[in-house]
Structure 1
Amino acid sequence: MAAISNPQLAEPAMLSRLMGRPTAAVGVLILIIIALAAILAPVIAPYAPTKLSIASRLHPPSFAHLFGTDDLGRDVFTRMLYAARTSLSVGFAVVIFASIIGIVLGLASGFFRKLDAPVSRLIDAMMAFPDILLAIALVAALGATAFNVVVALGIVYAPRLARVVRASTLVIRELPYVEAARALGVPTPTILVRHVLRNVTSPLLVQGTFIFANAILAEAGLSFLGVGISPDIPTWGTMISVGRQYMDQAGWIMMFPGAAIVITVLALQLVGDGLRDLLDPRLAKDI
């Protein structure tokens, strides 16, 4: 018995329908611009991100330095472009890592009754800790590297995805086509992949956009606290941390990376809301 043949994600018109929503279209456009700026940073940036110029330190925005310079004379605009590459890469990697863990835990908990209770208790225990405190503890234990930040944040946000997958799996496993597949002797891994996982993709996609936004904020928070990625690597969080010391005399060091975080997170939230409205049958009729 085949799974649902045309999941909503496979509809060719889904992107055009999403772009038909003004707020979601604005979010997609902003994300495209930010992603292109990050990818083309070596071409767009007027200076090297690590170029020092003590004579030009704490210069305000000008034609020579669009966003001014920091305490070491480094061009803030250049560092923002390279920081975008780091922050977006970390956010995307966190979504992938959290999705892998969340899908495995969610499918195991929702499909196998004996595993439901222990896995659910594990998920509840992980979600009992505040996100940032758990992330700080994991990074402190693993070490402050970009990879470890991704692992720590992936572990922090995996329970959210696991709960979404579990809730959907509990419903899907009782549907007639899943029962028929079991009766026909279809292997359990095949049922999980073809019949269950395919049909939980929609809520996963929506949650992924929100986790992407939260991961960018969390990475910035860890970098700001000095327990995130190495200060040698430009990130929006480290730039804000440096600018905090010169907030009175050089507010632009904090202002521009802070604005970048706000705009990026807002764009991701707009896209996530648009996807939720598009993929939720109760809300799709209003689109």
Structure 2
Amino acid sequence: MAAIAQSGFREPNLLMKMASRPTAMAGLLIIIAMIVLALLAPVISPYDPAQLAVRNRLQPPSWQHLFGTDDLGRDVFTRVLYSGRTSITVGFAVVIFASIIGVFLGLMAGFFRRLDAPVSRLIDAMMAFPDILLAIALVAALGASATNVVIALGVVYAPRLARVVRASTLVIRELPYVEAARALGVPTPVILVRHVLRNLTSPLLVQATFIFANAILAEAGLSFLGVGISPDIPTWGTMISVGRQYLDQAPWIMWFPGGAIIITVLSLQLVGDGLRDFLDPRLAKDV
């Protein structure tokens, strides 16, 4: 009976908490739907995203072409789906790459006092440059490709994670259980992974959702400017760049990829806000 009573008062998990916040849950469901649509693009659409059909160019939305066709007769709906693959993949890769760099720099600056000043100045110097300008400069130096876009955006967003990790690490390293682990002779790498990094999961998860959204926007901006991913690969930014030339004649070429960016980024922001409310102890009391 005691076990049953305890199970009845078990604290709800994160997914149940998300379900109690309609906006956060709606954002999560939309993101899942966008990922599924991108993965199933070859099954959903019968067209090839690179297939040219000049006779059908600039056709408005219809049952045959749900989102119409572009200036080369390519199906816009198909290209939006395949572009979602590219944008979501790049965004996820940027989160992973930025997390590796940001967590490493933040742990070094926050845990080791001698490294705090030089690493913090490096982080400040990286954040002094506007995000998009630094990304353009890095992509221009490395070359236009998906890999280089991920590297450039990862370098741009890593300082944000590093500052969050550093601030949290400065607090965690002074806690009694960390001091006890030091006194017992526990190796520093074990302390960093088991005691420090483990307690950074919540703020890292929240920051990851915001970086994911910003990375999708930045990748679209770079592709729109022609300095991002190769034009041969369909991306939302490239589609908007092409569609602006036909804004008066065929506005749907811009509407649908632009709408996909807005929906995806807004959904990620809603998920991030929900995670922040539930994972931050100071805000969780009010939720």
TM class by shorter chain equals over 0.9
Cα distance between partner residues in 1 of 2:16 and 2:71 = 46
Q: Which residue of 2 aligns with 1:7?
A: none
Counterpart AA for 1:175: L
Task: Using the TM superposition, give the Cα deviation of residue 14 of structure 1 relative to its aligned residue in structure 2, in angstroms.
Answer: 1.2
Q: How many residues align?
A: 277
Counterpart AA for 1:279: L
User: Per the alignment, in what secondary structure is the counterpart of residue 246 of structure 2?
Assistant: coil
Cα distance between partner residues in 2 of 1:281 and 1:271 = 17
Provide Cα deviations, 1:189-228, integer angstroms capped at 9, x if missing partner.
Answer: 0000000000011000000000000000000000000000
Counterpart AA for 1:109: A
Q: Which residue of 2 aligns with 1:283?
A: 283
Provide Cα deviations, 1:131-152, integer angstroms capped at 9, x if missing partner.
Answer: 0000000000001000000000
Q: Which residue of 1 aligns with 2:159?
A: 159
Q: Which residue of 2 aligns with 1:230?
A: 230
Cα distance between partner residues in 2 of 1:218 and 1:251 = 22
Provide Cα deviations, 1:2-29, integer angstroms capped at 9, x if missing partner.
Answer: xxxxxxxxx8711111122111011011
Q: Which residue of 2 aligns with 1:147?
A: 147
Cα distance between partner residues in 1 of 2:200 and 2:74 = 46
Cα distance between partner residues in 2 of 1:222 and 1:195 = 39
Q: Is 1:51–2:20 an aligned residue pair?
A: no
User: Per the alignment, in what secondary structure is the counterpart of residue 245 of structure 1?
Assistant: helix
Provide Cα deviations, 1:56-82, integer angstroms capped at 9, x if missing partner.
Answer: 001111111100000000000000000
- What does 1:7-22 correspond to in 2, within 5 Å? 13-22=13-22
Between the aligned residues of both structures, percent identity stands at 81
TM-score with structure 1 length normalisation? 0.96
Counterpart AA for 2:135: A
Cα distance between partner residues in 2 of 1:238 and 1:68 = 17
Q: Which residue of 2 aligns with 1:245?
A: 245
Task: Using the TM superposition, give the Cα deviation of residue 46 of structure 1 relative to its aligned residue in structure 2, in angstroms.
Answer: 2.3
Task: Using the TM superposition, give the Cα deviation of residue 255 of structure 1 relative to its aligned residue in structure 2, in angstroms.
Answer: 0.5
Unaligned runs of 5+ in 2: 1-10
Cα distance between partner residues in 2 of 1:54 and 1:232 = 17
Q: Which residue of 2 aligns with 1:259?
A: 259
Q: Which residue of 1 aligns with 2:126?
A: 126
Cα distance between partner residues in 2 of 1:286 and 1:123 = 33
Cα distance between partner residues in 1 of 2:139 and 2:80 = 24
Q: Which residue of 2 aligns with 1:210?
A: 210
TM-score with structure 2 length normalisation? 0.96
Alpha-carbon RMSD across the aligned residues, in angstroms, is 0.8
Structure 1 stretches of at least 4 aligned residues deviating more than 6 Å after TM superposition:
none
